[in-house]
Each structure stands twice: as structure tokens, then as C-alpha cells.
A and B are shown apart, each in its own frame.
Chain A
Amino acid sequence: MLQEEEDLSLTIAQIVQKLKGSRLYAQLERQAWVSLQKPEIKLETLKEDIKEFFRITGWEKKLHNAVYSELTVFPLPRHPAAPPEHLKEPLVYMRKAQGSWEKRILKSLNSMCTELSIPLARKRPVVEQKELLNKWNEMGTDEPDLSLFRPVYAPKDFLEKEFFVELSLNTGQLGIDDATQVPPELFENEHVRLGQKVLAEQDSAAAQQYIRQGSPTALRAELWALILNVSNQPEDLLYYEQLKSNVIQHDLLVDSLIYKDVKLTASNDDYYFVFEDYLYQVLLCFSRDTAVLGHFAYNSASPPKSYIRGKLGMEDYAVFYPPNGVIPFHGFSMYVAPLCFLYHEPSKLYQIFREMYVRFFFRLHSISSHHSGIVSLCLLFETLLQTHLPQLFYHLREIGAQPLRISFKWMVRAFSGYLATDQLLLLWDRILGYNSLEILAVLAAAVFAFRAVNLMEVTSLAAAEAVLADLSTLKVMPLLQIFLFATVT
């Protein structure tokens, strides 16, 4: 009992510490001062009156949402003597694996840098800055020569690493017992009404609970913003503008990687090509955003360091590279593309994406033991397949078509670019609702189950891939329901 209480007070202390530095704290303080002018606030009952004031004006709700937001990402407190690496990743061999993975990426980046004699970062001449500023809204029209650049890594490179890992983690339970898809008339109207109510209340926790059953199209943008606790304050706009000016002033090597990625993936997608310009506006700014470094506290990965020319090894001259510590890989822009369907204002789109990244997406390309990490997802997928479709599983392995080879790329991209947009958004509703990526592994297994009959007939990896090449006609929710509730073991 005592330990729990200790843990709880530790958590509270840590959250209070975190929030004290936030904008919300300053706002609450200001509001409290302002409220003193009001007649209903009396000196004798100051504390209660101010609390009441906060409740009535909705500020208490905002505080609720902020605390909830912190709790969602905050790892559980460990033993007080545990070193910070423990918080990032408790298992030593996992840390080692992530460490060697990082070395590999950095080596690739550095060699590209040297081969092409392009600096990692350089300041743009004024003329170039002006040009870029003019072109900001239509960067898609730029055709820089990217032929020499290669993506630093692609999901398939990551996969090879996975074969070493033998974990005994088992996270089969998902709690998706209440998922319903494109609902029939009777459910839909009530659900929409409920959704509007949730939005009116502006309660993050309620929204997260609500969205487990999917979000009506018209309410989705607001609901996601509420769950991620993203609001479009003037400070956020300013922050985004600041990032934009960073992009204008300095040119980074990773920019070319971003350009190449967008051109190769999103621009060639039948539905996302239209949003090409938005993708540059988000991703270029993202790479400059040092606030993203905060997530490395609970990410097993570490941001690469770079040294000012000539000062190699001297910590005083070390900077994180890129500024946000995240090196984009082939397909990275697909994390942003579906969001363009919901958000049209660049700074809001940016914030939503950043929040999605630091809560979920980063786990899909770092090696950790977290239950939403890609490693666990792989294990979950294989376990599910083996348990529910043993015949299929062994057949595929016999013919050299390891199921994970095919499903891995789906999971790393959170199915973006593989499913139809409306289906993808329904899937991501559940990611937000359950605050977990496990559903990706389940869906991957469900897809295999759905196409099991055809897969049993194939005799090669290529043929298996062909059967599973096109997921654009799949309806996500029925698949998940059938797999979860109607599968006979």
C-alpha cells in the first residue's frame, strides 16, 4: 500500500513539475489574478471560490486534459535509483540492439554526406531564402536533383534486425470489445449526437473513450485534436512560423531526404498526391523542431549528435542532428499524408502530426520492449497467426513466405498508403482510442485470415505477396471483429 502511495505521489510530483513550466500554468495564474476582480470571489473562501471559478469557466477541464495528456505518455515511475536509460528502455539487450541500429543509420548518413560533399547543415544565402519564402505554399513544384540521394533506410532494412530478438512478452489482450464500424442508421444518429456532446464538453478522456467506437467523419478533426490536446493558440501559430523561418534560413541535408521521400511515396499515391505541398511544409518544419527532443526521454532511441566542424568529440560543440533528432526514412511522409484529409491549416496540421509522432509513430521504428513497439507488434502478429491459423502459418513458412516479411511494412507505416483513406482513419481512431498500436498487429493477422483460402494455394513468396498486394478494398472494422470474436481456434 505504502509503495503505491509513494509511486502515486511521485507521479503527481513529476506531472506538477512538468506542467509548471507550461503555458497552461501561466494562463491559469493569469486567470486566477483576473478572477480576483469578480464579486463572487471572497477573501475568506478564496481557495474554494477560485476553484469554482475555474470549474465554471472551463479552465478546470483544460487542466484535466493536460494532466490526462501527461499521464498518457508518461512512463510509470521506476525505482528511484534507476538510471535514466531505464526509463527509455528497461531491458539491456534491447538497448544494445537499438544502439547498434542507430550506429548503422548514422554511418549511412555520414557516408552519404562525405560522398556527396554536402554539409549536414548550411545557412541559406539571402536570395535563396527569399525564393523559398515565395515558394512556401507550392514546394511541390520544385524539382531538385535528387538522383544521388538515397533514403537512409527503408522498413525492410529494419526487419532484418528483428530476427535476433526472442522475447517472452505476450500482449494478446487488446480491449477492442466495443468496436463497431460504419454503423447502421439506429446507432449512427445516437453516436453522432454523443460525439457532439463530447466535443461540447471538451473532455479529452471522454473523447478518447468515445472514439473507440469510431468517429463520425464530420467530427473527426476536432475529436483527434481534443484527444491529443492540441489547440490552435496564437502561441502555436507563432511557434510554427518560427520553425518555418528556421527552414528558410538554413538548409539541411535531411531536407533532400524529405523531398525524395515525398516525391517517391506520397506524390505517387492516387489519393495523397494532392497534398504534396502540405507535406513539405510539415516535414521540413518538423526536422527543425527541438521540442521533439523531449520524447527521447521515453524513446529507446537517442538523437544522433553532430559536431561543429573541427570540434569532433567536444561536447560543448555538439548539436543534435537533425535538430529534432529524427532521421526520416523511406515512407516517413506517409505518416503525415492521411492527416491532410482532416487538417488544412498548416500550423494545426503540424501540431497534430507532431503529437501523433511523439505518442505513437516513433515506436514503429525504434527497438524497444514497449508493448506498442514494433518488436512487440511483430511478436504479437506472429503469435496471433500461429494460434488462430496454424495451418496457414506453417504452410507459408514451408514455401519460404514468412508472413512477417509481408506484414512488416504495413505495421511500420501504420497501414498508411495500403488501406483506403476512410478505412485508415477508422483504424487510427482506434489507435487514439486505445492509446496503443497493437491494433496494427491484429489487423495484419486479420488480413491474413481473410485471404487465407487464397494463401493456402500459393507456392512461393512472390505469389503470396501478390495475394496481399492490394488492401485498398478492405473494410477494416468487420475484419477486426471477425478475427477477434468469430475466429474458432
Chain B
Amino acid sequence: MSKPKNQCSKTHGAPKVKERDQKVCIRFKCTVLNTLMDVLRHRPGWVEVKDEGEWDFYWCDVSWLRENFDHTYMDEHVRISHFRNHYELTRKNYMVKNLKRFRKQLEREVGKLEAAKCDFFPKTFELPSDYHLFVEEFRKTPGITWIMKPVARSQGKGIFLFRKLKDIMDWRKDVGRSDDQKDDIPVENYVAQRYIENPYLIGGRKFDLRVYVLVMSYIPLRAWLYRDGFVRFSNTRFTLSSIDDHYVHLTNVAVQKTSPDYDPEKGCKWMIQRFRQYLTSKHGPEMVETLFRDMDNIFIKSLQSVQKVIISDKHCFELYGYDILIDQDLKPWLLEVNASPSLAASSQEDYQLKTCLLEDTLHIVDMEARLTGKEKRVGGFDLMWNDGPVSREEEGIDTAGTGNFVANTHLGCNNDRKKQLRQLFCSFHSQKKVTS
């Protein structure tokens, strides 16, 4: 149960005592009206609360969080879908700062080789605070393309590319006359980032990957990686000569939807499985394995870099949407991390993916207290980090020493979640019968 802190006149009933085999009733609150609502409504034993009712589970949006988190008391069992200061990871300027700091720390404590593993983020400068540093870097490599992004906006808004300093001089002047009147984002919060000019192309098109990572806690760090995800294609052919053509360079589905030749029937997404197969037939399994290992590295290092900064409240969990770009050398780059990845479905297949993703997220949040906490896989999620790397092998077999460590991640692999869930929950059921 939750209540505003200043309302201490009322005492809420004692938290429900939950017998393991009794039907629980979980009150949820949710403001989004899409896939998530469907999933929550269909979950057995979950009941929606409206308006000011008390809740056990709240899938909130970040604005609510900003205004209310600090004055809301939550019982121990209550769960909420964001960390208080998630922006340390999801705002581009903060993320850059944290990553740079973490990299320096690694270099000091472990060495250059380990620190180099953090080089998955294209060179980024906060503007205008780092303007001079930016200009220095800019002058070092003339002629390359840079991308300007507002730190806090999403869906591709406000982004543009440039090659000359002159272009941003003009922009600085223009920005004061922006027609986004309702925007309360101050002018200063932009980042200039080195644009990746050699993206991997399929059918002449640029694309990026959307991958889902679920973090249950930061201290200790527990993160799960979802097997499914998708590849988002740009609707037009890639060429560096058309810098002003937003539609070519930005692959967000939201931007693509406004492109003149966007055809909703067409759908510009591939499931990651298909992508993985395509790459395997083109480059062979080893190179693809390396690519996916490198992506694991991105997820883990980025989370580690904010581990000490994010307030690790036990009530909080968060489902992140990672945007990854792959270049022609099959190196993955981190574009950004989304705290509120879109849950709206653009097609039947998309709806399926998101429904299963959310169901499995709720399984791991485990309001029904069915899990033991020792699971390495729940549905389509694989435990990627548990205060340390998680191996595919069974516990007890010492693989660390032999150097044959294989991470417990299966991005783009077969997702037979239904079967796994059946086995998982059936075994508990029978276990409970034995113990009670």
C-alpha cells in the first residue's frame, strides 16, 4: 500500500498476509493506455485502482515520479516502475559524464585495456558548458559529421546533423526563436556527438537495434536481458550527402511515421532473431558471437557506471530500452538508453513481443512471490548480471578459471518462453505442495 506522507491521520489496514498458496489480490495503477494496460488487466489476481485509491504496484510515468516520489510512503512489498534518479543513465549529458568518470576509474584501478571497453559511446560534448572542449575536438578532425541532440527530448525531435561550426552558430541564434513554446527545456541542454558515418547497412538502409534490459536493483546490481528485440530500419537509402534529410538518418519509428513514403502496412522492423540469422549467414557464427558479446559489455558497463549514483530503492525496478547502432566493422555503439521505452504496438508481431516482454517483467517483479530468487531465466529474460557475471553453466562447475566462461545471455536466440514458464511455475507448485 502507498499513501502520501503528509496524510498520517489515516492508517491503512495491515499489509495483507500472503499465504503462498492463497489467491493474492494486487492493486495496480497504470496511466498508459496500450499494451501494458492489456497485460495488467489480464493478469490473474490483479485489480486496477482508479484515481486516489491505494496501490501495490504502479507503472508510473517519469513526471509523476519527479513530483511525487519523495513524498510517497511505500510499504515494503510495493513496487514502482522507475528509479528516482534514472536520468543519470537516460539523459544523454548525465550518461556521458558518468561513463567518462567510470572509464577514468577503470583506467586507474584496472588498466587501459579494461577502460577501453567503455569506448562504445561516440565522442560527446555537453553544450554549451563544454563548448571549448568540443571545438578543440572538432578542429582535430575536420570534415566529419556531428549530430546535435537535445538531452531530454525523445522520438527524434530537435535533432540535426552538421559539418561546419557555422551551422551551429546559426542554430544558436535560431534557438531563441524556437516555435516549441511549451517546451520548458532550457537552451543549454544539448549534446554534440560524433556521428557514425559508416553504419552497417542492410538493403542499403540504415538501422538501429532496440534491446530491453530489466534492472531489479543497483546495489547489488541485478540485471536481466530479454531475448527478443527488434531492428528499426530507416525508410530511405543511406547516403551522407543528404544531411538535412531527417528521414534517412534517424531511425526512430516515430520519425519514420512522418516520412513522406512511410507506409504503415510496410512496417520497418525486423525481429532480432531474423537479424541474427541474416548476419550469421553473411559473416559466420564467430563474428556474430563477438558482436553480441560486445553488446553485453555495453549493457553491463553502462549500468556499472551509474551504479553508485542511482538511488537504489528496493521498491524500484526499471525496464530500459537500449538503442544500439552497428557500424560496418560490426562494432556496436550505444546511442541512448530509454527509461520509458515505447509500449505502443505498431503491428501484430510488435504487440506480441511487447505483451510477452511485459508479462515476463511482471513475473520477475514477482508480486505474487512465486520465485525463489535463484532463477537464471524467467520466460524470455536471462539473468545477465547478479552482482557479478552470470554463466550459462550450472552452479558449482568452475569455469572462471578455465577461461571458458560463456555469459548467460541469449539476445536474438530462440525464445521458447511459454515452455520455460510452464516448467518454472509447475515445479514451484509441486514444491509448495510438498512443503506445506
Task: Give A residues with C-beta under 8 Å from B.
Answer: 137-138, 140-141, 143, 217-218, 220-221, 267-268, 270-271, 273-278, 340-342, 344, 421-422
Contact = CB atoms under 8 A, between A and B. Distances in A.
B265 A268 contact: yes
A274 B237 contact: no
B265 A274 contact: no
Contacts of A140: 237
Contacts of B280: 217-218
A137 B204 contact: yes
Interface of B is mostly: mixed
A273 B267 contact: yes
6 contacts: A137-B204, A218-B280, A221-B281, A274-B202, A274-B203, A341-B281
Interface stretch (B53-61, B270-278, B330-338): B270-278
Given A140-B237, A268-B265, 8 more contacts: A217-B277, A217-B280, A268-B263, A268-B266, A270-B347, A273-B266, A277-B237, A422-B277
B356 to A, nearest CB: 14
The 8 closest A-B pairs by CB, nearest first: A274-B203, A138-B237, A218-B284, A217-B280, A275-B203, A217-B281, A270-B267, A273-B266
A240 B266 CA distance: 30
Given A218-B284, A270-B267, A276 B236 contact: no
Given A138-B204, A278-B203, A341-B281, A271 B237 contact: no
B363 interface: no
Contacts of B282: 221, 344
Contacts of A344: 282
Given A268-B265, A268-B266, A341-B281, A274 B274 contact: no
B266 A267 contact: yes
A422 B278 CA distance: 9
A221 B277 CA distance: 12
Contacts of B349: 270
Interface residues of B, number: 25
Nearest to A137: B204
Contact of B274 (A218, A271, A273): A271
Interface string B167-181: 000000000000000
Contacts of B266: 267-268, 273
Interface of B: 202-205, 233, 236-237, 261, 263, 265-270, 274, 277-278, 280-282, 284-285, 347, 349
B331 to A, nearest CB: 19
A185 to B, nearest CB: 13
Contact of B281 (A141, A220, A267): A220
B72 to A, nearest CB: 43
Nearest to B270: A271
Contacts of A340: 203
B20 to A, nearest CB: 36
Interface of A is mostly: helix
Contact of A421 (B233, B265, B277): B277
B205 A274 contact: yes
A217 B287 CA distance: 13
Contacts of A342: 281
Contacts of B268: 273
A421 B252 CA distance: 25
A253 B282 CA distance: 35
B141 to A, nearest CB: 28
Contacts of B270: 270-271, 274
A217 B282 CA distance: 9
A354 B282 CA distance: 21
A267 B263 CA distance: 10
Contacts of B204: 137-138, 277
Contacts of B205: 274
A143 B204 CA distance: 18
A138 B203 CA distance: 9
Nearest to B273: A422
Contacts of B281: 217-218, 220-221, 341-342
A168 B263 CA distance: 48
Nearest to B205: A274
Contact of A274 (B233, B263, B284): B233
Contacts of A270: 267, 269-270, 347, 349
Nearest to A143: B261
Contacts of B265: 268
B387 to A, nearest CB: 30
B260 to A, nearest CB: 10
A262 to B, nearest CB: 13
Contacts of A275: 203
A144 to B, nearest CB: 14
Interface-central residue, A267, A274, A277, A422, by most chain B CB under 10 Å = A274
Contacts of B236: 141
Interface-central residue, A270, A275, A422, by most chain B CB under 10 Å = A270
A421 B276 CA distance: 12
Contact of B285 (A218, A221, A267, A274): A218
A421 B202 CA distance: 16
Contact of A341 (B269, B278, B284, B285): B278
A10 B233 CA distance: 56
Contacts of A217: 277, 280-281, 285
Nearest to B266: A273
A268 B270 CA distance: 13
Contacts of B277: 217, 341, 421-422
A219 to B, nearest CB: 9
A268 B266 CA distance: 5
A143 B263 CA distance: 13
B416 to A, nearest CB: 12
A274 B277 CA distance: 15
A421 B280 CA distance: 14
Nearest to A273: B266
A266 to B, nearest CB: 11
A357 B274 CA distance: 25
Contacts of A267: 266
A422 B266 CA distance: 20
A340 B205 CA distance: 14
A344 B202 CA distance: 9
A401 B422 CA distance: 37
Contact of B237 (A141, A220, A273): A141
Contacts of B347: 270
Contact of A137 (B233, B237, B285): B237
Contacts of A271: 270, 274
Nearest to B288: A218
A254 B267 CA distance: 28
A129 B349 CA distance: 41
A204 to B, nearest CB: 20
A183 to B, nearest CB: 13
Contacts of A421: 274, 277
A400 B85 CA distance: 64
A305 to B, nearest CB: 37
Nearest to A277: B204
A232 B74 CA distance: 68
Nearest to A472: B349
Nearest to B276: A217
A465 to B, nearest CB: 18
A429 to B, nearest CB: 12
A277 B278 contact: no
Nearest to B237: A138
A220 B203 CA distance: 19
Contacts of A141: 236-237, 261
Contacts of B285: 217-218
A415 to B, nearest CB: 17
Interface-central residue, B202, B233, B269, B277, by most chain A CB under 10 Å = B277
Contacts of A268: 263, 265-266
B236 to A, nearest CB: 7
Nearest to A270: B267
Interface-central residue, A140, A273, A342, by most chain B CB under 10 Å = A273
Interface-central residue, B233, B261, B263, B282, by most chain A CB under 10 Å = B282
Nearest to A421: B274
B256 to A, nearest CB: 12
